[in-house]
């Protein structure tokens, strides 16, 4: 029995497919070997066949190709401006900040508050998550 490798990188699995395909191993056997080494959830049989077909068509790159996507409007400068608005008035709603920054959706603003700036709502006031003892006594 082989040692199972957990959570492999996609390019690692594709490299195995590329190598096995170069040795003229059939896609079904490649899939069987992948499942044997990487576990059941590594890749479905259809995807193995798709990658074998792409490698047979001349593809040599095992990494993902760059895809166009929607550029993020959130940057460090914008986060700093949002933080300034929060510090001006801690008793705000997301709707008030949304009126100040209409280019950002409410869900992205909430993500900035909670994940980027580490604020949370406490007694109708936004405060930093990491409170010191001095903050707690105030």
For 8, 37, 104, 138, the CA distances from 130, given in Å and listed in that order, are 35, 43, 26, 14
Class of domain 11-57: mainly alpha
Of 29-43, 104-118, 123-137, minimum mean pLDDT range: 123-137
Residue 43: what pLDDT? 92
- pLDDT tops 90 at residue 57: yes
Q: What are the extents of the domains in the chain? A: 11-57, 76-116
pTM of the model: 0.51
Give, as one character, the DSSP assignment of residue 8: -
Q: In the structure encoding, which two tokens stand for residue 53, read together?
A: 């077909």
Give the residue, 7 or 90, on which the prediction is more confident.
7
Distance CA 92, CA 110 (A): 12
């Amino acid at each position: 029995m082989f040692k199972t490798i957990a959570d492999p990188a996609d390019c690692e699995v594709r490299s195995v497919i590329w190598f096995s395909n170069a040795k003229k191993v059939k896609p079904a056997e490649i899939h069987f070997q992948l499942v044997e080494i990487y576990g059941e959830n590594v890749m479905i049989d259809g995807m193995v066949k798709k990658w074998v077909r792409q490698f047979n068509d001349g593809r040599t790159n095992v990494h993902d190709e760059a895809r166009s996507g929607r550029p993020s409007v959130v940057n460090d400068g914008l986060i700093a401006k949002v933080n300034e608005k929060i510090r001006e008035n801690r008793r705000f709603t997301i709707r008030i900040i949304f009126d100040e920054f209409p280019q950002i959706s409410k869900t992205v603003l909430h993500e900035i508050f909670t994940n980027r700036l580490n604020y949370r709502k406490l007694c109708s006031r936004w405060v930093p998550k990491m409170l010191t003892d001095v903050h707690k006594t105030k």
